[in-house]
Structures are given as structure tokens and as C-alpha cells.
A = this chain, B = another copy of it.
């Protein structure tokens, strides 16, 4: 299938053919993580854990269920989630006195405990995270990894003595983010969301968006500054050095299995998945190329190559199934294994291992003697090339708008699906007008300063900040 022309169908087809998840589970939008998809996700989780652990976050695991009474304490928050939570109303044969919700996110589970944990300024900063399943009753059409009703995600939550320290935490989160995204070879925008689109209860929200093959954007996660918006209703206070009780300043950072949805969408091609080596279950697959007379020799060499690479810590698979090489090539291309190694009689003679890169199809040979550094080098080049290619695509998706009239009409076969950059005065009235007239969502303004001079696309006022807008997945 052609990714460019029929992305939606292509995506579902790849998820199924590469056996990443099974959506035949008898509840819509709740899919089974099958082994190959789960392995990739666990690699992603491992990088997240590594970065969070090394920046002093402690991993915890909170209960899934939240009493309705706790859930309702922050007014904006409950308004934002009321219509999309699952309710547990009965246990065994009894009706519960207090109904329980399946967490859609864990603020209201964690903050009653934070109120017990934080006593003095010495308990701060408090930095914790968890990697768990979370639930949202999606009414829109579901799609594996991108819009599901049981979501695998991580969330970090922090408490600080001052707003400045909370602000520093957000800067740290963005460094963590950049390191994780580097492993996934994914570019992204950091956009400060509009007031009407921020997280319910947040002071401000920075959305993490990436551009999909249909030029719509996908929000991968977000970073929130809460100020004291939650610490007041949940009574999370500390005693400062002068003995006064003060409310803590809070932040959160979270990303979901959409990361995998983006990896599939951004990197894949018409033949199947293309996995970044850092998260591929197998970085390389070895295919022995037998002829009648050399079966044993080729087998033994393939086995040796497997051992050499495996011992060096490279995740490698030897495909010794009794099948034609062409058919094996096809299978591993669908699965997106970054590097294919072929070993035939001529390779053994020439003391080389032949290779083919999954990302760009490039072929060549690595000297057998320097196999390990040779493979490592190619895997690094693949990472670099995949990142650059994705970045080029993202950049090419952006259209600078001088006037709203420049937006192509919707009927132009997807031509209107772009990321638009334009001047916006920042006022709600202009923002809503733009969104309503063009059915395009304002994603926000760049969190990291971008030079810009222009006029608000609606009211014409001079502005020095651009807004980004796009249709979203």
C-alpha cells in the first residue's frame, strides 16, 4: 500500500502485518499488545526510565482506581474529564458507596498522598514517575497506539518550593524529551497551548507535536506547569525555613504509546515498518544464502556471525528457517529490521558480510574482520539519516501564511492539510475566529523563541510571535 496516498489504510495494514498489536479484542479501542509491538514499546520505556532515573526521579506505582470524592476536588480538572472516564460502580455483588474511576491521568490519585508526604522544604523537590495503563472513553474513531481507550503511558509529577524551581523542572523535562526523541529519530514542535486548549487545571501547557504523513499533527505528550492550582485544593504544603506553611508549585510531564504510533507513521514506507535501531527488537537480521554444495559452511559462518554480534551486545536474529531468502527479506522488511546481513559462499570467500539498509535500501559489504565496529557504524548512520529525513519532512510541511486566504480549500484533495505558521495577536477572539472559519486548530506559540515579525492574520495588529496551526490526528 502507498503510504503517501492512503496513509490511514497503510497504517492499519502495517500494524497488522508487522504484528504490533491485535485489534480484534472484543472491546473497541482496547487492543492486545502482541510480542513484537510490546518489545518496541519496552525499549521506548527503558529510555524514558533511564532519563528519569538519572535526573533524580523515583519510580512509584499508584493504584488504578480513584474515588469520585478525590477526583472532584479540582474544579477545572473534573470538568475536563467528566465525560470520558470509566466508572466502577459495583464490587462483587455490592453497589459501592463511593464510585471509583479508572485513572485518566493520576493527579487526583497522587495529590492526596503528596499532601501526606510533603512536610518541610527538605522534602522538596519531590520528583516521581510511573509507567502505567490509563483509560479514556474515546468517542472518536479509535486507531492502534494513536487513539485508544486503554493507554500505555508514563507520567512524572514534581513538587517544588518556588515557581522558579518548577520552571527549571520544565527545562529539565525538555532535555529528557530531546534525549528520548533522539532515540526514536523523531522531530517535534514544542508549542505553548492556547488558554482554551491547555490541560484542565494547568497554569500553562506545552504540547509536544509531530507531523504525520498526511500533514496532520499528532500530540505525543505534554509538559504542564500547575503553579499552585492543584496544591491548594489538595492541600500540599511545606514549612519553609522561617516556619511558614506554603503551597508547593507543581509540574507534570507525560507521553504515551503514541510515540510508537509516530515511529510507525513517520519512518515507515510502502514495504512496511522502518525501526530506529535504538528501539528495534532486532537491530540486524542474518539471512544465510545457501547453494547446494555449501550449506554447512554457510550455516556455520552465519552462526558464528550471530555469536560475534550477540556477544558485542548487538540485538541480532539469525533467520535459519527453511524458506527462500527472498521470502525472508520480505518478512523482515515488513518488520522494519534496520539492517539485513547476508552470508553466502562468495561472502565467505571474500571474507565479508553483505548488508542492506532498510531505511534507504543501500547495499554493500563489511569486512568480516571489523564486523562489530562496521555494524555499529552503519547503525549509527541509519539513526542519523532517519532523523534527518524525518526533520526534512517536518520542515517541508510548514507553510507560512501571510493571509488566511492562502489556505487551500478543503476540497483540494488534502492540500489544505499542512502546518501553518502565521502572526497572531494572542487574543481569544482572533484565535477562535481563525479556528472556526478554517476548521484548523491553533496548536499554540513556540515555547522556544523563534524570530518573527508580522501582523495578526485576523485583526492585522503588529506582532512578534508566530502561531502554529494544523488539523490534528
| A65 adjacent to B116 (CB under 8 Å) | no
Choose from B35, B62, B85, B91 the contact partner of A137 (Cβ within 8 Å): B91
Would you call A326 an interface residue if the criterion is a C-beta within 8 Å of the partner chain's C-beta atoms? no
Is the CB of A38 closer than 8 A to any CB of chain B?
A: yes
Taking a contact as CB atoms closer than 8 A, the residue among B42, B58, B90, B150 that contacts A64 in the complex is: B150
In the complex, the answer to whether A63 meets B32 with C-beta atoms within 8 Å is yes
Contact between A87 and B86, CB atoms less than 8 A apart: no
> Interface segment, A23-31, A194-202, A365-373, A400-408?
A23-31
Q: Contact between B92 and A30 (Cβ–Cβ < 8 Å)? A: no
**0 or 1 for each of A92-108: is its CB under 8 Å from B? (1 = yes):** 11000000101000000
Taking a contact as CB atoms under 8 Å apart, the answer to whether A89 and B92 are in contact is no
The minimal Cβ–Cβ distance linking A24 to chain B, given in whole angstroms, is 6
* A35 CA to B49 CA, complexed, in Å: 13
Q: Are B90 and A27 in contact (CB under 8 A)?
A: no
Point out the residues of chain B lying under 8 angstroms from A345, CB to CB. Answer: none
- Bound complex: CA A400 to CA B150 (Å): 52
Residues A237-284 near B (CB distance < 8 A): none
Cβ–Cβ contact A38 & B61, under 8 A: yes
Asked if A378 is at the interface of the complex by the 8 Å CB criterion, the answer is: no
A88 within 8 A of B: yes
Contact A27 B86, CB 8 Å, known A35-B128, A60-B32: no
Contacts of A22 in B (CB 8 A): 113, 116
- Interchain CB contact under 8 A, B63 and A25: yes
> Which A104-144 residues have a C-beta within 8 angstroms of B?
109, 112-113, 116, 128, 133, 135, 137, 139
Q: Are B63 and A34 in contact (CB under 8 A)?
A: no
A70 sits at the interface (CB 8 A): yes
Q: A43 to B262, alpha carbons, bound, how many Å?
A: 31
Is there an interface contact between A88 and B86, defined as CB atoms closer than 8 Å?
A: yes
Q: State A65–B102 Cα separation when bound (angstroms).
A: 11
Cα A69 to Cα B70 with chains together (Å) = 32
Specify which of B24, B65, B82, B152 is in contact with A113 (CB 8 Å cutoff). Answer: B24
Using Cβ atoms and an 8 Å threshold, which residues of chain B touch A67?
A: 26-27
Q: A39 near B: Cβ within 8 Å? A: yes
The residue on B at minimum CB distance from A148 is B63
State A35–B26 Cα separation when bound (angstroms).
Answer: 36
Copies in the complex: 2
Contact A62 B26 (CB under 8 A): no
Asked whether A137 and B92 contact (CB < 8 A) given A38-B61, A60-B34, the answer is yes
Of residues 160 through 175 on chain A, the ones whose CB sits less than 8 Å from some CB of chain B are none
Contact residue among B38, B87, B128 (Cβ-Cβ distance under 8 Å from A88): B87
Q: Let me know if A83 and B93 touch, CB within 8 A.
A: yes
Expressed in whole angstroms, the minimum distance between the Cβ of A234 and any Cβ of chain B is: 12
- Chain A, residues 13-51, CB within 8 Å of chain B (1/0): the string is 000000000101111001111110011001000000000
Q: Is A462 an interface residue (CB 8 A)?
A: no
Contacts of A116 in B (CB 8 A): 22, 24
The reply on A84 being an interface residue by CB < 8 A is yes
Please tell me if A59 contacts chain B, counting CB pairs below 8 Å. Answer: yes
Instruction: Evaluate contact between B26 and A70: CB separation under 8 angstroms.
Output: yes
Choose one: B24, B30, B38, B42; the contact of A65 (CB below 8 Å). B30
Contact flag A58-B87 (CB < 8 Å), given A113-B24, A116-B24: no
CB of B61 within 8 A of CB of A92, answer: no
Q: Which residues of B contact A91 (CB under 8 A)?
A: 84-87, 137
* Chain B: minimal CB distance from A40 (Å): 12
How many Å from the CB of A218 to the closest CB on chain B?
A: 22
Q: Which 9 pairs from chain A and chain B are nearest by CB?
A: A35-B58, A33-B61, A30-B63, A91-B137, A87-B90, A83-B92, A92-B137, A89-B89, A86-B91
A-B contact pairs, 30 of them (CB 8 A): A22-B116, A24-B113, A25-B62, A25-B109, A25-B113, A26-B69, A26-B70, A27-B65, A27-B67, A30-B63, A30-B64, A31-B63, A32-B61, A32-B113, A33-B61, A33-B62, A35-B58, A38-B59, A39-B59, A61-B152, A63-B150, A64-B150, A65-B150, A82-B92, A84-B92, A85-B91, A86-B91, A86-B100, A87-B91, A89-B90
Write the residues of chain A forming the contact surface with B, with a CB cutoff of 8 angstroms. Answer: 22, 24-27, 30-35, 38-39, 42, 58-65, 67, 69-70, 82-93, 100, 102, 109, 112-113, 116, 128, 133, 135, 137, 139, 150, 152
